[in-house]
Amino acid sequence: MTRFETSPTDDTHVVLGKLTSPHGIKGWLKVYSYTNPMDSILEYPEWWVRQGNTLTPMRVVQGSRQGKGLVVQLKGVDDRTAAEALAQADILMPKDALPELSDDEYYWHELEGLAVFTQSGERLGRVSYLFETGANDVMVVRGDDDAIDKRERLLPFLPNDVIVEIHLEEGRMVVDWDPEF
């Protein structure tokens, strides 16, 4: 099995989910997926499993929905003890292995860290992370040293409404948002 040392902040990979705990006695693992829909993580035949600073490529033998979650069998993980050794490990994928998106679509990891400006040029801070609410995704924008204040703002991710422009190559986003809100 090939292993690679990596930094936890390695920006060549994106975290797609987590192996949470063993499922049964034959080496299966429960999976918490960050993908949408959640079972699209099973479309990748090989995962990079991160434990500490070590990345290990692992082949997905089979996986499926189990109740409200997912379970997976990985090659070489044949019993509960081997599965326990992988519990709480992150599931990563090289960013260059992700499917290409159309020009108006973005992966969340691409938006995280972007500087956020109002249309009048006031800096609100940086995108810290995003989360789903059901109605629409929400960006958490945290004020930084260059922002108008240190406030944390929750902005709906609504392209062509709140989100006016996204410039990944410049590391910035323009929003239609009242800084007082």
Say which amino acid occupies 7.
S
Helix (H, G, I), strand (E, B) or coil at 114: coil
**For the residues 85-99, what does the mean pLDDT come to?**
93
Is residue 178 very low, low, confident or very high in pLDDT (cuts 50, 70, 90)? Answer: very high
Euclidean distance between CA atoms 67 and 155, whole angstroms:
32
Is residue 10 very low, low, confident or very high in pLDDT (cuts 50, 70, 90)? Answer: low
Percent of the chain with pLDDT over 70: 94
pTM of the entire predicted model: 0.73
**For the residues 163-181, what does the mean pLDDT come to?**
95
